[in-house]
Amino acid sequence: MLRIPPLGISKIYKTVSNEAIRVLTGSPPLDIKASIEKETLDSIVISKTTLENEDFANFDFEHRLPPWQNKMTNWKFYNQEMDGDNIFTDGSRIEDKVGCAFVNFRHGIEVESRKIRLSDGATVFKAEVVATKEAVEYIREKDMSNVKLISVSRSALMALNSPTEKRKTINSMKERINGNIDLYWVKAHQSIIRDEEADTLMKEATRLERTGYFFSDVLLAGRHVPQEPDSSARQLQPLLPPPQADFPLKQRPTQVRGHVLPNTIVSPNYYYTPGWHSKKAK
């Protein structure tokens, strides 16, 4: 039964061996697939249970809170009113550089701004969360009240509003957001001058020499998690066993990037090239 789907995908003869089918369709053997899944699950468990690894912070570290302690931080749509303090945050990736920034406007006049560079492995979501976190710390540092905190990241605001959020980084930020801070969402690149200023500072942050935040996506000491095999099946080449039998028949055997697959008989009018494309023999 396991042969039927690969046969339909590869459009090959039913007499082709299981080893050839797996290579042609890019499907690793079950034992190798199980090993890949185990390595991936191990990395997920470690990333959720390890707080730090040397100088790297773990963004995905989970700290479970009782349901009655997990707060929901509500947010609203920004109405472009500039009375009081309005702090705009932004974060993004430019090429391989990641940065974030926030800028404070008081009654429409820029008061202060900050730029933060993140490690190159960080995601855009992490940059947006760090920008919001730094803005909250700035508000508490200045002992400000009645502040509007405007973000272009709806996903970051939804994480702050989620009652099931488990990441310690976000839950600790919930604790520091009090009644003096109102969260707002504004769509990016809507020709809002103050938001464009935050976007400009964010781009400058990606060019900073000093990195303020180091994140480690996979906290595995010296271990490497294999990636999902691609359609070309090149990752299977070093895993294939050496030939165990000769081909006494005169038919041309199937060749896969220098490997002769055992127990494979192919019609002389039909053969496969190393590029996996079938051609008719001339």
162-172 pLDDT, tens digit per residue, is: 888 888 888 88
Query: How many Å apart are CA 153 and CA 3, to the nearest integer?
Result: 46
Phi, psi of 70 (to 5 degrees): -80, 110
Which of 51-65, 160-174, 227-241, 256-270 is modeled with the greatest confidence? Answer: 160-174
Q: At 214, is the pLDDT very low, low, confident or very high (cuts 50, 70, 90)? A: low
Taken as a whole, the chain contains a residue count of 282
pTM, to two decimals: 0.57
Percent with pLDDT over 70 in the chain: 65
Token pair of 89 as six digits: 């945050």
272 contacts 253 by C-beta, under 8 angstroms: no
Do the strands 97-106 and 109-118 form a parallel or antiparallel pair, or are they unpaired?
antiparallel
171 contacts 63 by C-beta, under 8 angstroms: yes
Q: Give yes or no for residue 17 having a pLDDT over 60.
A: yes
Q: At 23, is the pLDDT very low, low, confident or very high (cuts 50, 70, 90)? A: confident
> Would you state the pLDDT for residue 240?
54
Sequence-distant (6+) residues with CB within 8 A of 63 are: 166, 167, 168, 171
> Would you state the pLDDT for residue 87?
92
Q: Give yes or no for residue 103 having a pLDDT over 60.
A: yes
Query: How many Å apart are CA 122 and CA 92, to the nearest integer?
Result: 10
> Would you state the pLDDT for residue 137?
92
Closest C-alpha among 172, 141, 135 to residue 153 = 135
Kindly state the helix (H) or strand (E) to which residue 251 belongs, with its residue range: none
